[in-house]
Chains A and B, each alone.
Chain A
Amino acid sequence: MSDQYLKTARTYLWILGLFLALAPIIGLVNYTFLRNSGEFEPVDKVVKLQLQNGGLYFSALNNTIHAYKLALYRAVKPKIVALGSSRVWQFRGRYFTVPFVNLGGAAQSLNEAELVLRKITAIHKPEIVLLNLDPWWFGNFGGSLIGNGQYPNGSEFRLDLLFLPCEWLLDRKISIRNFCQTLAGREQNPFPSMGVFAAVNREGFYQDGSLYNYGRVFGLFRKKGVPKFSSTEHQIRSGQEIFSYERTINPKRWADFVSLMKYAKAQNIRIITFLGPFPAKIVDLMASMGENYAYIDELKVTIPEVSPHNYDFLDPREFGSSDCEFLDGLHPGEITSLRMLRIMGRDPASGLSPYLDWPQIEMTISQYSGKAMVPVHSFGPQYKEIDFLELGCNKKCADKPGSLKTSRRPSS
C-alpha cells in the first residue's frame, strides 16, 4: 500500500507546500500594510510628530493607549489631566487656558487609575485631575479589568500579530480598497493619521490625547455603527460584562478607591471625581431594572464621603444634555463633556475656573448644542455631522432650541 501511495504523496506534499508558502507571502504583504499605516512607530515618535503636525493616532495592532498617553504626558507636562476609561475621551485641551492632557483609556479600573497616577506624578505633578468614575469599577466586574501592568509601546514587531490584517479584512473591519491604498503608500485621509484604526476609521487621538470620531460622527467610515443604543441596551437587559447586576459595592474595589484618593491627597493633587453620564434612554432602562443596579445609588451617597469634589452627572437631562450629544450608549460626546466641564468650572470649590477658556466654552455649547463633536479647525470646515445613531436628531441646526438649559448639580 505504501508504494501505491508514494507517488501521489509527493504531489500531495507539493500542493500542501504551495498553500503553506502562501502564508509568508501574505505575511509580507501584511507587514508592508502595517508599516505604511505607521503601526510600528514607537509612541514617543508618534507624540513628537503629532505635536509638530497634528493628525490623529490610534493603533489597531496593539493596545498602545497606556504607553501613548504617558508619552504625551511626558512631552506636554500638563497642569490638568482627564483620567478614566474611554468615557472621558471627549474632554479637549482647547477649552483650557493651561496645558491639558486627556489620559482617558489609560485606566480601566480603580487600581489602574492609581497606577497611572503614580506613574505621572513620578514624571511631573499635575495640579488638577478630572477623574471619571465608571460605576462598574466598584462592582464585581471591576475586578476583571485590573491591568496586568504590561503595556506595549507600539514599536515592537511581533510575528504573531502579522496576520491580524487578514482577520480585519474577513471581519470587514477594513475594506480591500483601504488595504490596497495603504499598501501602495497612498494617503487616504484628508488629514494625517497614524495607526490602522486612525487611517481606516478616521478615528484617533489628537495632540491633546482626546479622541476625534471623524469616521462615525461625520459619516466618513463606510461601515455603519450600531444604530441607537441597542448594543448597550442588550448588555443591560442581559446583565452582561460592565452592566452585570450588582446590588452592593464590592468592598475590595471600594478599598481601591480609598487608596487612590489617599495617594492623591498625600501628593497634594486635587482630584475632581464625577460619575459620567449615560444617554437618558439608558438611564431610564437601568432604573427600570429594579434592584439590579442598586449599587449605583449607593455610590452616589458614598463617593462624596471620600471625594469632597464630586459630581453626579449620570443623568444628562439634569444638566441640559440630550441623547443626540452622545456617541453611543456608553460614551458622552464633546458637548456633553463640555457641559460637565462648565458645571465643574462654575463651582468655586472645584478651583477649575481660572484654567478654563470661558468664552470658548460658552460659544461652543451655544453653537454646537445637540451635536456630538466639534471638528478640528485645522482639518477644515467641510465636515458635517450626521445622525449617526439614527435617533432622528436634527444635526443641521447650529443651535437646537431648548438644549442649552443647564442645571448645576454638584453632589458634594
Chain B
Amino acid sequence: MLFNSYIFIFMFLPPTLLGFYFMGRFGSQTALSLWLIAASLLFYSWWNPPYVVLLILSVLFNFGLGALITKAAARPTRSKLILTFGIFCNVALLAYYKYAGFLVNIFNEISREHLDLGKIFLPLAISFFTLQQISFLVDAYRGKTSKFNFLSYAASVTFFPHLIAGPIVRYRDLVPQFSQSSPPTVNALDLAVGFTLFCLGLFKKVILADHLAKFVDPVFAGASAGTPVSFLEAWSANIGFFVQIYFDFSAYSDMAIGLGRIFGIRLPVNFNSPLKSVNIMDFWRRWHITLSEFARDYLYFPLGGSRKGVPRQYLNLMIIMTIVGLWHGPAWTFILWGMLHGLFLITNHFWLLLRRSWGHDLSRPTVWGTWLGRIITFLCAAGVNALFRADNMTTAINMLKGLVGLNGFALSLESLKLLGLENFASSLTGWGIQVVAMPLVKGYFFDTLLVYLFIAFFFPNTQEIMSRFEPCLDFQLKEHEGTWPWLRWKPTLAWAGLTGFVALISVMLMGRPNPFLYFQF
C-alpha cells in the first residue's frame, strides 16, 4: 500500500485513525497498541500477506533476545554472546533474502559453477526493520533500554508510517513514546501539523518528483540501450535524478513524519535540505539522516571512529560507506557508489586536516567558500548517482563516460533555446563549437531542472516551514536557515486554504501511483 494511493488515503487511513481515536478515548494503552499493531500488519500484508509472518517472527525473536540481554546485564560475557547471536541471525536473514542471489552469482563467476537458489522474493522493508532491531539489541546490551514491554516494542517496530522506508527509528526514538504513562492520543494540533506535513509530502511526491522522472528516465533508458550519452545529457540526467530522488525520498519522509504526528508520535528527522550541504560530511548529516546516524553509532564508533589515528579513521570511513552502499542493494553499482562516497568523505577529512595545519579558521567560512563548497558537494553527489540509478554496470559506465566527456562535449540545442541563444547555433558551429540536438533530452528538461534546483537550494524545507510546532525529533532550526517568517506554518485560514488546495490537486493528479524510489531498498 503506497502512501500516495487512494486505497491508503481514503480506505486505510480514516478507519485506522478513527479506531485509534476511540481506543485512546475509551480503551487502554494496551488496546491502543494492539490497534496500531493490527493496522500496521494489515498495511504491511497488503503487499504480500505471507511475509507478515516473517515480520512477526522477527519482532518476537528480537524482543525475546532483547529481554534476555537485559536480564543478563550483570553477566557481560553472556549478554555479549546473546547480542552476537542476535546480530548474526538478523544479518543472516537479511543476507538470505537480499544478498543470497548476488553472492551466488559471484560464486558462480569465480568457480564457473551453476549454483541456482531459485527466485527469492525480497520481503518489503526488511532492510529497515532489521537495522531497527539490531539497534535495539545493541542498545539493550549497552543498558539503554529500560522499561519496555512487548506491546510498546512491537507497536514501535511495526508502526506503519516508518515501516516500509523509514525513517529508521531506534529504541530511544519511539518505544518511550509508546510506553509512557499517558499514551499517544488524537489532538487537533497534532492532526493539523501531521496532515499538513502529509499533504506537503504528497505534493512533493506527486507533483514534483514524479514529474521529473519523465525527463530523467529516457536518458537512463537510452544509456541502458547502449546509446552514447553526451556530456550535457549525462549531467542533466544525473542532476535530474539526484533532485528527483531527493524530492521523492524526502517526500516519503515528510509523509511518514506527518502520519506519525497524526497519531501523536514524533519520528526522527530524515532530511534537512541536503542540497544545501557545504561539504560531503555535511551532506551525510543532512541526507538520510537516520541511516547516517545508524552507521555512525553502530558501525563507525564500534570500529574505533577517529580515535585510532588518521589512517584507521579513513579505513573505517571506507568500510562503513561500502556497507551503506551494499545496504541499498545487492549490486556492484551500489557498492561502488558507497565506496566513492567513502572516498569523498576521506578527501573531505583530509582537506580539513590540511586547512587546519595551514592555520585556517574553519569556523568562519566566507560566502564564496560556502557556495563553492556547496556546488562541489552537489556535483560530486549528483555525479556518483549515475551508479545509484543505473540498472547495471554497463549502463553506469556509459553514463560515467558521458559525465567526464568521453562521449563528446557538444552543446545542446535545447540549452541554447533555454538561454534564448538558438539563433547563434550556426555561428557557434562556425567557430568550431558543436551544437547538436540531444535525442534523449525531452522538451523542457533544462527549464524544469532550474526551477527544481531553485526550490532545493533557496526554499526552506518542510521541517523548517513547520518548525514552530516541532514536527519531528532532533530537529533544530539553525538561525540562518529557513527563517522566512511568512513561510513558517501556523494553523491559519490562509494556510488551511493553501494546504487544502495542494492536497486536492495532489490527490486528483495522483493518477497512476509511482512507487517511492526507496521502496526497493
Q: Do A and B interact with each other, yes or no?
A: yes
What string of 1s and 0s marks CB contacts (under 8 Å) between A1-29 and chain B? 11001101111110110111011101000
Q: In the complex, A55→B503 CA distance in Å?
A: 40
Q: In the complex, A176→B189 CA distance in Å?
A: 39
The reply to whether A239 and B439 contact each other, CB–CB distance below 8 Å, is yes
> Which residue of B6, B187, B495 contacts A12 across the interface (Cβ within 8 Å)?
B495
The reply to whether A11 and B493 contact each other, CB–CB distance below 8 Å, is yes
Give every chain B residue within 8 A of A238 (Cβ-Cβ). 413-414, 437-439
Give every chain A residue within 8 A of B504 (Cβ-Cβ). 19-20, 22-23
A345–chain B nearest beta-carbon distance, Å: 38
The reply to whether A6 and B188 contact each other, CB–CB distance below 8 Å, is yes
Give every chain A residue within 8 A of B442 (Cβ-Cβ). 240
The reply to whether A167 and B501 contact each other, CB–CB distance below 8 Å, is no
Q: Which of B468, B496, B499, B510 is the most central at the interface, judged by chain A CB atoms within 10 Å of its CB? A: B496
How many pairs, one residue from A and one from B, have CB atoms within 8 Å of each other in the complex? 109
Residue of A nearest to B504 (CB): A19
Give every chain B residue within 8 A of A239 (Cβ-Cβ). 437, 439
A76 at the interface (CB under 8 A from B): no
A295 at the interface (CB under 8 A from B): no
A60–chain B nearest beta-carbon distance, Å: 13
The reply to whether A2 and B503 contact each other, CB–CB distance below 8 Å, is no
Which of B176-184, B221-229, B313-321, B332-340 lies at the interface with chain A? B221-229
Residue of B nearest to A30 (CB): B508
The reply to whether A163 and B510 contact each other, CB–CB distance below 8 Å, is yes
A159 at the interface (CB under 8 A from B): yes
B509 at the interface (CB under 8 A from A): yes
Give every chain B residue within 8 A of A144 (Cβ-Cβ). 221, 225
Which applies to chain A's interface (DSSP): helix, strand, loop or mixed?
A: helix
Q: Which of A1, A160, A162 is the most central at the interface, judged by chain B CB atoms within 10 Å of its CB? A: A160
The reply to whether A15 and B508 contact each other, CB–CB distance below 8 Å, is no
Chain B, 461-502, CB within 8 A of any chain A CB: 468-469, 490-493, 495-497, 499-501
Known: A163-B508, A167-B509. A13 touches B439 (CB 8 A): no
B511 at the interface (CB under 8 A from A): yes
Q: In the complex, A9→B190 CA distance in Å?
A: 9
Give every chain B residue within 8 A of A163 (Cβ-Cβ). 507-511
The reply to whether A13 and B188 contact each other, CB–CB distance below 8 Å, is yes
B364 at the interface (CB under 8 A from A): no
Q: In the complex, A15→B6 CA distance in Å?
A: 20
B10 at the interface (CB under 8 A from A): yes
The reply to whether B500 and A16 contact each other, CB–CB distance below 8 Å, is yes
What string of 1s and 0s marks CB contacts (under 8 Å) between B427-440 and chain A? 00000000001110
The reply to whether A19 and B503 contact each other, CB–CB distance below 8 Å, is yes
Q: In the complex, A24→B199 CA distance in Å?
A: 17
Chain A, 24-60, CB within 8 A of any chain B CB: 24, 26
Instruction: Number of A interface residues at 8 Å Cβ cutoff, please give it.
Output: 38
B497–chain A nearest beta-carbon distance, Å: 7
Known: A15-B493, A23-B507, A239-B437. A160 touches B189 (CB 8 A): no
What string of 1s and 0s marks CB contacts (under 8 Å) between B10-44 and chain A? 10000000000000000000000000000000000
Give every chain B residue within 8 A of A161 (Cβ-Cβ). 511-512
A229–chain B nearest beta-carbon distance, Å: 17
The reply to whether B508 and A166 contact each other, CB–CB distance below 8 Å, is yes
The reply to whether A5 and B227 contact each other, CB–CB distance below 8 Å, is no
B5 at the interface (CB under 8 A from A): yes
> Which residue of A10, A16, A159, A164 contacts B6 across the interface (Cβ within 8 Å)?
A159
The reply to whether B6 and A160 contact each other, CB–CB distance below 8 Å, is yes
> Which residue of B413, B490, B510 contacts A160 across the interface (Cβ within 8 Å)?
B510
Q: In the complex, A22→B506 CA distance in Å?
A: 12
The reply to whether B188 and A10 contact each other, CB–CB distance below 8 Å, is yes
The reply to whether A23 and B439 contact each other, CB–CB distance below 8 Å, is no
Residue of A nearest to B437 (CB): A238
A104–chain B nearest beta-carbon distance, Å: 25
The reply to whether B192 and A12 contact each other, CB–CB distance below 8 Å, is yes
A245 at the interface (CB under 8 A from B): yes
A172–chain B nearest beta-carbon distance, Å: 16
Q: In the complex, A209→B192 CA distance in Å?
A: 54
Known: A12-B496, A16-B496. A26 touches B188 (CB 8 A): no
B513 at the interface (CB under 8 A from A): yes
Residue of A nearest to B468 (CB): A1
Q: In the complex, A159→B439 CA distance in Å?
A: 35
Known: A11-B496, A13-B188. A143 touches B225 (CB 8 A): yes
What string of 1s and 0s marks CB contacts (under 8 Å) between B403-437 and chain A? 00000000001100000000000000000000001
Q: In the complex, A10→B511 CA distance in Å?
A: 30
The reply to whether A160 and B437 contact each other, CB–CB distance below 8 Å, is no
Give every chain B residue within 8 A of A162 (Cβ-Cβ). 6
The reply to whether B188 and A9 contact each other, CB–CB distance below 8 Å, is yes
The reply to whether A9 and B499 contact each other, CB–CB distance below 8 Å, is no
Q: In the complex, A20→B196 CA distance in Å?
A: 12
Q: In the complex, A329→B327 CA distance in Å?
A: 49
Q: In the complex, A9→B196 CA distance in Å?
A: 11
A186 at the interface (CB under 8 A from B): no
Q: In the complex, A20→B507 CA distance in Å?
A: 8
The reply to whether A160 and B439 contact each other, CB–CB distance below 8 Å, is no
Give every chain A residue within 8 A of B499 (Cβ-Cβ). 16, 19
Q: Which of B413, B508, B513 is the most central at the interface, judged by chain A CB atoms within 10 Å of its CB? A: B508
A244 at the interface (CB under 8 A from B): yes
B1 at the interface (CB under 8 A from A): no
A140 at the interface (CB under 8 A from B): yes
Q: In the complex, A292→B438 CA distance in Å?
A: 13
The reply to whether A9 and B437 contact each other, CB–CB distance below 8 Å, is no
Q: In the complex, A160→B191 CA distance in Å?
A: 26
The reply to whether A23 and B508 contact each other, CB–CB distance below 8 Å, is yes
Q: In the complex, A26→B505 CA distance in Å?
A: 12
The reply to whether A8 and B491 contact each other, CB–CB distance below 8 Å, is yes
A409 at the interface (CB under 8 A from B): no
A237 at the interface (CB under 8 A from B): yes
> Which residue of B195, B225, B413 contacts A16 across the interface (Cβ within 8 Å)?
B195
Q: In the complex, A114→B5 CA distance in Å?
A: 36
Chain A, 252-311, CB within 8 A of any chain B CB: none
B353 at the interface (CB under 8 A from A): no
Q: In the complex, A166→B510 CA distance in Å?
A: 11
Using A9-B191, A167-B508, A244-B439 as known contacts, list a sample of 10 further A-B pairs with CB atoms less than 8 Å apart, ordered by residue number in A: A8-B490, A8-B492, A9-B188, A13-B188, A15-B496, A16-B499, A20-B507, A23-B10, A23-B507, A238-B413
Complex A-B, nearest 8 residue pairs according to Cβ-Cβ distance, in ascending order: A19-B500, A238-B437, A15-B496, A239-B439, A12-B491, A9-B192, A9-B188, A9-B491
Some 14 contacts from A to B, beta carbons below 8 A apart, are A5-B490, A8-B490, A8-B491, A11-B491, A13-B191, A16-B192, A16-B496, A23-B10, A24-B10, A238-B438, A239-B437, A239-B439, A240-B439, A241-B218
Chain A residues packing against B (C-beta within 8 Å) = 1-2, 5-6, 8-13, 15-16, 18-20, 22-24, 26, 140-141, 143-144, 159-164, 166-167, 237-241, 244-245
